[in-house]
Amino acid sequence: MREIAIVSFAQRQEPAITSESEVEFMVPLMQQAKEAVGLRQQDMGFTCSGSSDFLAGQAFSFVMTIDGTGPVPPISESHVEQDGAWALYEAWVKLQCGDVDTAFVYSYGKSSPGSLRDVLATQMDPYYVAPLWPDAFSIEGLAARMLLESGKVSERQLAEIASRSREHASSNPHAVRNTPKSVEEILAEEFVADPLRPSDIPASADGGCAMVLAAGDRARELCDRPVWIRGIDHRIDSHTLGARDLTDAMSARIAAEKAGVGRDKIDFAELHAPFTTSEAVLTEALGLGDDVTINPSGGPLAAHTMMAAGHIRFGEAFERIARGDGDRAVVHATAGPVLQQNMVAVLEGE
Amino acid sequence: MPAQPFQQDPSVPPSCVVEVTGVPEKVASTEPVQSVRTPIRMEYTYTPGRALSDYLVAMKDKKIIAERCPETGQVFVPPRGVSPVAGVVTAGKVELPATGYVESFNITRVPIATRPDLEPPYCSAWILLDGASISFMGLVINCEPESVKLGTRVRAVWKPDDELEMAATNILGWEPTGEPDVEIPDIERIGQKGDLE
């Protein structure tokens, strides 16, 4: 296996970006990530992006954003209709193949133009579930009810997760939900989708991020402290909600084992946990103990940019390790309803 | 069992039984499912962004606004706020004349169900506006489609002034000006033009 590291990262997240198109707000981020390591587009061995036509409401929407890379003359490029974490995975595979030493990965999403709760229903199976037009919060509410009834977690514990996220987010300039709230205040909130309260659900944001990956000594040339991807794996659970245990995340459990989470001490974890319930399930499935700081950035409860939120977890962990706030971290990304697909990686400083 | 007609009304739910084999007696007389229709409707508030907004707003005054790449000097229309050659933000608006020439064209002889206003045969073309580095698409109108050639000079035909909107549809099409055809010397480079001014 080749050593592969993250060497630079740039992000932007806001409650809604209404004055700029996707490519307009991505170009400065793309330039920032490249300039941080002194690279230009023609220095990139491979470029990969993650976004969704369903969010943009436009077919082949990603093609417009490729303009922002400067793709003429033609570049080696690919796209995933997934969170950017999966674009990062594709770039990681490309780097493993050995024919390129650098890769540029970016992802973005604007959910403010439409109803994300409804858009997400289009990812359900088209015969039995999608015709019911289930909104995303209701599905998570059903899973949350099962989790509470199972006794694995209490409403108060969920409120504690929400409260801690807000506290961590207060030092994150990209967080869109960072006002402090006590556990009691959260427990007093009106339900959105009983038993989920406003503080239990993701803080919707528009935005994106850009990142440079490099292999081996190339990474050491580009920055002082490359953050190595020591293990990475992704797994998928059944599409059929009734066919899996919604109080557990089997695919995350397997991915964590394959990525080597348990092999050494973990300083902190950046989990793509959109709901407080997802965080409770993931902490258990990934085997993270009480000594591990969960989501020091505030996580998706503080800022959830659809299609970039998983990718941003890699970036948040990179920045923290690069400046010395920890040496070994777990990073997680998810896709699909109720933690259906899960990616787990272990990052380590030089 | 004869095939059921396709249900057109999205508010009518599909029937609920798949196969006669093994179906409980009480629903055995129900018609089998021939197809499932999942009605999907999503509404978006589309944001054109900074550059395209400026372009659309100017359309109301019958103006065509392009933007210039600060690195290569190329002029892009419609502007998308970015130069795909340099990968940088475009700046410096350029107002282009509503004249140009046909860089490539196609004659369509088959009607499109969703565009009853387009009566075949009609001619769609890539039109290179005077001063632009990239061509954009329009219809060539007010002439026989067969008379269109590579290099035919054209000018915009605008909607009547009282119907103008902030929309690209203000240009109904492009009509030949009657000027001599432009000779395209580097025909193999069409689509890759990089006129520096």
List pLDDT tens digits, range B44-73: 998 889 999 999 999 999 999 999 999 999
State whether residue B46 sits within 8 Å of chain A by CB: yes
Half-sphere exposure of A339 (CA within 13 A, CB side): 31
Chain A, nearest residue to B91 by Cα: A24
Chain B, nearest residue to A66 by Cα: B84
3-state SS class at A272: coil
Closest residue to A114, CB basis, from B14, B42, B88? B42
Lowest mean pLDDT among A127-131, A185-189, A205-209, A300-304: A127-131
The one-letter code for the residue type at A149 is E
Chain A, nearest residue to B35 by Cα: A127
pLDDT of residue A254: 97
Size (chain B), residues: 197
Q: How far is CA B136 from CA B61, B132, B175, in A?
A: 20, 10, 15
Q: Are A14 and A176 in contact (CB under 8 A)?
A: yes
pLDDT of residue B24: 77
As given in the structure block, the two tokens for residue A331 are: 């990073």
pLDDT of residue A125: 87
pLDDT above 70 covers what percent of chain B? Answer: 83
C-alpha–C-alpha distance, residues A274 and A137, integer Å:
11
pLDDT above 90 covers what percent of chain A? Answer: 91
Q: How far is CA A93 from CA A41, A101, A140, A170, in A?
A: 20, 12, 32, 36
pLDDT of residue B17: 41
The answer on pLDDT for B185 being more than 60 is yes
pLDDT of residue A326: 96
Residues B5-44 pLDDT 10s:
444 455 544 554 444 456 778 887 888 788 887 777 889 9
What ipTM describes this predicted complex?
0.84
State whether residue B114 sits within 8 Å of chain A by CB: no
Q: What stretch of H or E contains A157?
A: helix A155-169
pLDDT of residue A311: 98
Q: Which residues in chain B have Cβ-Cβ distances shorter than 8 Å to A127?
A: 36, 38
Lowest mean pLDDT among A277-286, B12-21, B173-182: B12-21
Q: Which residues in chain A have Cβ-Cβ distances shorter than 8 Å to B49?
A: 19-24
Q: For chain B, how many helices (H) and strands (E)?
A: 1, 10
- The residue that leads in pLDDT, B12 or A173, is A173
pLDDT of residue B188: 64
Chain A, nearest residue to B194 by Cα: A72
pLDDT of residue B10: 56
Q: Give me the helices (H) in A260-308, please.
A: 276-285
pLDDT band at B189 (very low <50, low <70, confident <90, very high): low
3-state SS class at A328: strand
pLDDT of residue A133: 85
Q: Which residues, other chains included, contact B26 with Cβ-Cβ below 8 Å and sequence gap of 6+? A: none
Closest residue to A67, CB basis, from B13, B46, B80? B80
Q: Most A CBs within 10 Å: which of B7, B37, B47, B57, as the mutation test of the A interface?
A: B47
| Mean of pLDDT over chain B | 85
Maximum pairwise Cα distance, chain A: 58
pTM for this predicted structure:
0.89
The one-letter code for the residue type at B159 is K
Residues A15-62 pLDDT 10s:
999 999 999 999 999 999 999 999 999 999 999 999 999 998 888 999
